[in-house]
Every structure is written in structure tokens, then in C-alpha cells.
Structure 1
Amino acid sequence: MSETQQSFFSVPCEFTLFADPLPGDKRLVDADTLLAMMPRAFRLMAQVNEVEQRCQPLMASLSQQAAELAEYLSLQNLKLDMVLQMQLEKSTEARYRCQGVRFGGSGALVRCDHPLEPGAILEIKILIPEENVAVFAVAELTGCEREESGYSWTLDFTSIIEGDQERLVHASLQVEQRMLRARAQARREQQAP
């Protein structure tokens, strides 16, 4: 488990975040406590992601020898991931449902209809379907700003499983890479005669 004091970069991305208030003494919890707090579906998603990580070298070697089979297995994996993400979104309940604006390995920025006092401790569930990420963590609300249509919350993770934090960092890198490719493509199109 990571008790995040380090700062990671964040990227703009749409996602869903569910939040429930916690007592202040839950700000920092150990890995066993965090796992016990974690909903079963999020534990399942974490286990699926761990299995996928272990299978990546096998899939890489398989794709060199049997490209069609490797592609088929990758598509089956994607299908399973999509079903799990849909089930997580439908089954997740929380006091607050927020629209994600930015995320990274150390926190998130979201929009919510409700104000909260900075310093509030929250159990959060982050769903980023495009990146196949479902993360459960404890976060502290470090900022709450009034906006035209609600409030902007700044959340810093205080307790997160290390593998989940790595998934968020990897997903943020993937989002950044797509953004850079899109900018490069836009420049090429502008320069084209």
C-alpha cells in the first residue's frame, strides 16, 4: 500500500468518481484495512488486472508466433474488461457521484454538485472505462471551489494500494501519449497544403 506523499503529474480526462465520507481517523489506513474496506467488485478488478500484467510477456511472445490467436485473446480480454467496467458502474453506490476532470497517481480533480469542507476524508472509487481502470482509495479533500454549475473538488490520495496507484500512473501516461499524438496529427494537418 502506498501512503502518497509524492506528487505525480495529472492529465485531463473524463471519468466517474464515487465518494463517501469517512471519519478522520481513516485518513491513513494499512493495506489490510484498505483491502477489507474495498468492495468485492473492486478487489476482483484488481485481481484481473494483476493477472493481465503477468500475462503480458506471454502475449507478446505469442503475438510473434501466432498473431491471429494473440489478437483473438486480446479481444476476449477487452470484452471481459468492458463487461466488468459496466458492472462496476451500475453496482457502485455512494453518497456523492462526481464527474472527473483530471487524474494522476497522487490524486484527482472532480466536479460535484455538493460542497464539502477541505480536510474531509473520503472513501473514493474511480472508474476510467477507456483505460480499464477501477481504483478504490482513501483521499483527503484539499480544495473545494465554487463554480458556475457546482463545485470543483481537489482530492489527494492518502491511502491507496500500490498496484492501483501504478495503474493510475500508467493510465495517465497512456492518456498523455494519446494527447501528444493528437496534437502532432493536428499540426501535420495544419501544415499540409
Structure 2
Amino acid sequence: MQHDFSAYLSPWPKEQALPTEHELRAMLPIGLLLINEVKTLESDCLLQLRHLDDEAKTVVDYLKLQSRKIDLVLQYVLEREQHEGEKYRGAYFGGSGIRIISDTQLVENEQFKITLHIRDELVALLCFVTVTVSEPLDPDDNRASGQYISSLEFTQILETDVEQLVKASLSVQLKQLKLRKQAKSSS
């Protein structure tokens, strides 16, 4: 899904094996652990609340507001943390990988440890990627912007993080559809 986000990349040595899922979990900083736990609890709770009747709508709305407040506080905490690696601007994300924009061309097949932050969807995760393609951002532009767009495929990611990315992608898509519908109706 096309959407801006931040990605922090740290090169991963070719001679070093990728961590196992258990080792990846052990690498998670406290901020990411907190966000993942909150998102899991929230998801479980919302599933249960969907079975309530319309009279519970006020309670559900209140709980969503409380959840949003917690999300904002956690996002603030995450943004203040030190991030390992070089910061890149993300352009697309999905369940199988991401695309980032950079001032230098990345080397195909290079491995990176990466921390993703998709602020609007409160997604923050740590995973590993391989560069599959890195090409000029606009190859038809005669002025040569000097920027590159690189596709990165997930090589080690927690299953729960894949689910978060897919849900976030659907959420962003729904928001974009609503905005287009509003724009058409106001025209």
C-alpha cells in the first residue's frame, strides 16, 4: 500500500546467519515489545466487543478513544527512542515487503536489519530484509533526481508483524477510498 513511513536500516553481515524467530523476539527493544503487546490486547478485545449489541456502542466508542490515547503516548515514546541504523523514507508497504526512497542506490541481495515505523497505523516492528531491486526513482526524468526506489523483501519477520502490516495496509486503503469518495462528493 502506498503510504509514507520511516525505515531504519542496518547492514547485516553476509557471513552471519539470519536470527531464528526466537532470536528475533529477543532482539526487540522495549518500545516495540510494548506496542506489540498493546496491539495484541486491543485486537483480542475488539473481537469480543463486536459480539455486543447496539446498546454497547457508547462503551465501544469510549474504549476506542482510550485505546487511541494509549496509541498516541506509545507513538510519542517510540519517536523519542534512539534508532539503530540509517533512516530512509518508506513509500510502500505490504505483507511481503516494502519500498523505500534513498539518495544512494542499494546493492541487490544485500541484507539489512530494519525497524519500521508506520505512524498513522501505530505499527512498529523489527525484521530482516533483502534488497531485490534498486533503481532510479524516475528513470524517464531527464533531470535525474538522484534518488532511488528500492524494493526490500522480508527474509525474517514475525508472523504477528505480517498480520499487522496486512491490517495496516487494509486500513490505509480504506482511509484513502473514503477520502476519494469525499473529494468526489464535494466536487
Regarding TM over 0.5, the answer is yes
Alpha-carbon distance in 2 for matches of 1:136, 1:178: 25
Establish whether residue 176 from structure 1 lines up as the match of residue 173 from structure 2: yes
Establish whether residue 36 from structure 1 lines up as the match of residue 26 from structure 2: yes
Of 63, 68, 77, the residue aligned with 1:78 is 68
1:96-144 CA distance string (max 9 Å, x none): 1011111111111111234331111111111111112112110011122
Displacement, 1:27? 6.2
Kindly indicate whether the alpha-carbon contact (under 8 Å) linking 1:96 and 1:112 is maintained by their aligned counterparts in 2.
Answer: no
Alpha-carbon distance in 1 for matches of 2:52, 2:80: 35
For 1:23-62, list aligned pairs within 5 A: 23-25=13-15, 28-61=18-51
Kindly indicate whether the alpha-carbon contact (under 8 Å) linking 1:62 and 1:70 is maintained by their aligned counterparts in 2.
Answer: no
Q: Alpha carbons of 1:64 and 1:107: their partners in 2 closer, same or farther (altered >3 Å)?
A: same
Percentage of identical aligned residues: 32
Greater CA drift, 93-102 or 160-169: 93-102
- The TM-score, its normalising length taken from structure 2, stands at 0.85
Q: Which protein, 1 or 2, shows the higher relative CO under an 8 Å CA cutoff with sep ≥ 6?
A: 1
Displacement, 1:25? 4.8
Alpha-carbon distance in 1 for matches of 2:117, 2:123: 6
Greater CA drift, 86-95 or 41-50: 86-95
Specify every segment of 5 or more residues in structure 1 that has no aligned partner in the other structure, as ranges.
Answer: 1-10
Specify every segment of 5 or more residues in structure 2 that has no aligned partner in the other structure, as ranges.
Answer: 138-144
1:6 — aligned with what?
none
Is the partner of 2:84 in helix, strand or coil? coil
How many residue pairs get aligned? The number is 180
Kindly indicate whether the alpha-carbon contact (under 8 Å) linking 1:63 and 1:71 is maintained by their aligned counterparts in 2.
Answer: no
Q: Which amino acid in 1 is paired with 2:108?
A: P
- The TM-score, its normalising length taken from structure 1, stands at 0.83
Q: Which amino acid in 2 is paired with 1:101?
A: A
